Amino acid sequence: MTHNSNKISPKQMLFLVLQTQIGVQVLFLPSRVQAFAKGDAWMSVLLAGLFSQMFILMMWALNKRFPAATLYDFMPRLTGKAAARLLQILFIVYFTAQSSLILMFFYEVIRDWVFPETPRWLITGLMVLVCIYLTQENLQIIARFFLLVSSLFLVMIFISAYAYTHSNLLYIFPIGQAGFLPVVRGAHEAMNTLSGYEWILFCYPFVEGTPRKKLAAASAANAFSTLLYTFLVFTSLVVFSPSELGLLPHPVLYMVKALTITIIERPDLYFLSAWIVVVATSIMAYLYLAATGISHLFGMSSHRKPVLFTAVALLATALLIHDQAVMRTLGKIVSLSTYFFMGCVPFLLLLISLALHIREGGRRLAE
């Protein structure tokens, strides 16, 4: 049975998904999508949001058939114990890889913009310690914290919106210049950025309310994330010329740094301060999902100890991988894996459930 301390409201579920979707890629996405879709990069982000919504509907339909169980609980009924254990291990590896990548990119930004001489182990170690502190708590406390810090999105939006004082809308014209396939390729670049809706598979039985309210919460989170990323990409497109944007690794930070605000000096540091908290919540989310997977795999009653094991693994990975080419390769692997874990697996499980008329049953994940 689920402890009352794990129960959350649909609004809290919304912010779980939202904080996981919006993370380290806020700074990188504009240049990466623009490299393929050019001035239509904002359309690519909207298309990625539409694809994500399709995955959300599929996950919701699957969980609706097993309302009292998480993915880890009902997989054995659909695939058999051996296949379920293998899939569970793969999910754990995927979530750990996601958090490791976020940590690596986080260090790169902090090193380049704030602390160029500070050792890598210190910056990444401090971030992991903060994440461990909260992730060891129950789901309800994590959800409350995510809701609390979501006000920082307003800071990021306000600072970014000020850039329109130096914008040139002609940079995005003619609309449709890239063509259909480049826009789709750009959407692929944005898909991994919008991952985070997989929370549905793991927190559905803990969310109070009707299935429609749960779907509405996840959909609202995805819509907000998509619009925020679209806003940042569009803003970058109209502030920088196409040739400039292709040369900037962190266009949002360069855009914010160039702003002149009378009462605020170095607005990029204020933006970074909000961004660091947003990155921490993304790491916490994947750390929690990996740790609960380990606790379920080994029949543990709590995810506290697995959090420590997982944190050591992701920190070791972030410290050992220094080469940019290796980071990019790992990023591509994780990006492609998103389609498998967020699309293929839920789709196949849903097909098996419908074909064999398997539904209901399964116990809730205990903490």
Q: What confidence tens digit (pLDDT) does each residue in 254-297 have?
A: 888 777 666 777 788 888 888 999 999 999 999 999 999 999 99
- Residue 153 clears pLDDT 90, i.e. is over it: no
- Residue 243 clears pLDDT 90, i.e. is over it: no
Q: Two tokens at 257?
A: 């740094």
Encode 274-301: b = buried (16+ Cβ within 10 Å), e = exposed. Answer: bbbbbbbbbbbbbbbbbbbbbbbbeebe
Which of 2-6, 108-112, 264-268, 306-310 is predicted with the least confidence, judged by mean pLDDT? Answer: 2-6
Mean of pLDDT values over 59-71: 92
Mean of pLDDT values over 88-105: 94
pTM for this prediction = 0.91
Q: What is the pLDDT of residue 259?
A: 73
In whole numbers, what is the pLDDT of the chain averaged over residues? 88
Q: What is the pLDDT of residue 20?
A: 92
Q: What is the pLDDT of residue 205?
A: 92
Encode 233-245: b = buried (16+ Cβ within 10 Å), e = exposed. Answer: bbbbbbbbeeeeb
Q: How confident is the model at residue 6 (pLDDT cuts 50, 70, 90)?
A: confident
